[in-house]
């Protein structure tokens, strides 16, 4: 019975002892998201300002290029704002170890999916631009060139965010490498290396 009680104490004490380490990884993930949303919001505001002013002072494909930049970045600004305040709200949460790993993997998967969509945006932009050339359509050319620009920025943004998040997520690997579980048929053991 003493061994069982000791085992239960170890199982429950290890997460409490190590919670500080993985909570720091969570906090860093949230700060990465928060800073990323600032970058996305800055890009959106820049495009809204420049595109909005240029729209009224341009014609032809440049007018449509600026129009699409404004429309595209209204969405980017909305996403950046929601993402920023969502990240701030996440700072108040205390996640379990399993939920922490889940959230880390989730953001990495979302960023990879976004990168695939970004390539799709650029491909659509190339298609619209080419179609605009064939049909002598300033609107298609302007919209196409805007999609190429916006997709390229988002591909770089999502790629950088993925790389930064993946580096942060390696902290969980280090954490897990410090723990080992053993079972030899008669005994169960948990080992946590302190350094």
Q: What are the residue boundaries of the structural domains of the chain, listed by start?
A: 24-90+98-177
Q: Report how far residue 33's alpha carbon sits from residue 82's, in angstroms, rounded to the nearest whole number.
A: 11
CB neighbours of 38 closer than 8 A, spacing ≥ 6? 80, 84
Q: Report how far residue 26's alpha carbon sits from residue 19's, in angstroms, rounded to the nearest whole number.
A: 10
CB neighbours of 84 closer than 8 A, spacing ≥ 6? 34, 37, 38, 41
Q: Report how far residue 112's alpha carbon sits from residue 89's, in angstroms, rounded to the nearest whole number.
A: 24
pTM for this entry: 0.81
pLDDT tens per residue across all 195 residues of the chain = 655 665 555 555 555 556 677 889 899 999 999 999 999 999 999 999 999 999 999 999 999 999 999 999 999 999 999 999 999 888 888 888 889 889 999 999 999 999 999 999 999 999 999 999 999 999 999 999 999 999 999 999 999 999 999 999 888 877 666 666 667 777 766 655 655
Question: Among candidates 148, 154, 162, which has minimal Cα distance to 75?
Answer: 154
Per DSSP, 152 falls in state H
- Which position has the token pair 């359509």? 137
């Amino acid at each position: 019975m003493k061994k069982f009680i000791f085992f239960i104490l170890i199982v429950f004490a290890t997460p409490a002892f190590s919670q500080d380490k993985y909570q720091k990884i969570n906090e860093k993930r949230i700060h990465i998201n928060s800073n990323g949303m600032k970058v996305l919001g800055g890009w959106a505001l820049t495009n809204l300002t420049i595109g909005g002013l240029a729209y009224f002072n341009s014609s032809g494909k440049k007018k449509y290029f600026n129009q699409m930049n404004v429309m595209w970045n209204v969405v980017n600004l909305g996403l950046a704002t929601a993402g920023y305040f969502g990240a701030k709200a996440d700072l108040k949460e205390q996640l379990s170890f399993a939920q922490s790993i889940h959230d880390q993997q989730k953001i990495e998967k979302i960023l990879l999916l976004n990168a695939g969509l970004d390539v799709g945006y650029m491909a659509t932009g190339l298609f619209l631009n080419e179609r605009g050339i064939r049909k002598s359509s300033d609107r298609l050319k302007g919209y196409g060139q805007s999609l190429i620009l916006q997709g390229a920025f988002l591909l770089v943004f999502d790629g950088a965010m993925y790389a930064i998040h993946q580096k942060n997520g390696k902290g969980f690997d280090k954490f897990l490498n410090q723990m080992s579980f053993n079972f030899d048929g008669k005994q169960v053991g948990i080992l946590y290396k302190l350094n």
